[in-house]
Amino acid sequence: MNNSRFNQALATLSPNDAQALTNALGNQSFSGQIPASVIAPIQTQPEALPQWLNFAAKFAITPVSNFNVGALVIGHSGAAYIGANMEFAGQALSQSVHGEQSAINNAWLHGETGISQLFVNASPCGHCRQFIREIAQPHQLQVYVLGKDQIAFTKLLPDSFGPDDLGNKFALFEQPLQTFTGAIQSPLIDEIVKHANASYAPYTGYYHAIGLITSDERLFVGRYAENVAYNPSLPALQSALSQLRFSGYDIIDIKRSILAHKTEQKINMAEHYLSLLKQLNSLNLDLVKLT
């Protein structure tokens, strides 16, 4: 896959940083992760921050607002993860993915156990602040908005409503793994089920993940990330689509989609996902029950 979107983003970086990122990736394709060795200068050179947010914003897809958000989070491993907003023309605004959601989802899918810093080119909206509240140890998170002073996340969302208010002891990034198995088993299905077991649905029990298979047989899996305030939850389909574009693919490249889900719970999003997939690319949705 020739990732022209990545090449356009790379052009926003200084020659030295662009070369450092290219060298660090080697023969691996870009997936939205920036190695710690490349991103470390952000910690000591604030003047280097804008270019990395411009880099992230190049992955935004904004046919509705035409407002590109670039975000970056630093995981506990020291690696960084980009995020960018994603909108769908002709669809409900609720289908959109916010830049901060995208970055947090990116870190989560890459196996991080938490994030310590968030950088973004515009102040997080209320929806995003509530989504951020769901992560583990939000009181330790530092937020950097372009052109403004560093601020603790707790000052952005004082007197907040969080997981503990509904009796949830395990926030996003520290949730226990589930032990479901798929009613159908194969290496492909097993990989999607593995992600479903790592999904986060403490309020409804609707654990699930979606796998998107491209025409060249690449698999992109997104997990459901629920929120204590419900509406800011990140659907599994949007989780997968957000990752798909970092690697240079578009919706038209998807040939098959599979949902592995725990049925007979408080909610069921299968029809919601199918409706969007049909409108985006005339796709069907294969269903696999978790038991």
List the catalytic residues. Answer: 100
Give the three-state DSSP class for 203: coil
SS3 content of the chain, % helix, strand, coil (to 5): 35, 20, 45
Backbone angles phi, psi at 16, to 5 degrees: -65, -45
Phi-psi region of 77 (alpha: psi -120 to 50; beta: other; left: phi over 0): alpha
| Helix pair angle (236-246, 99-109), 10° resolution | 80
DSSP per residue, 242-290: HHHHHTT--GGGEEEEEEEE--SSS---HHHHHHHHHHHH----EEEEB
DSSP per residue, 155-167: HHS-S---GGGGT
How many other CB atoms sit within 10 Å of the CB of residue 56?
31
- In contact, 219 and 256? CB cutoff 8 Å: no
Q: Can you read off the two tokens belonging to residue 282? A: 């005339």
* Neighbouring residues of 78: CB distance < 8 A, sequence distance ≥ 6: 36, 39, 40
Q: Can you read off the two tokens belonging to residue 38? A: 């490349």
- How far is it, in rounded angstroms, from Cα 212 to Cα 238? 11
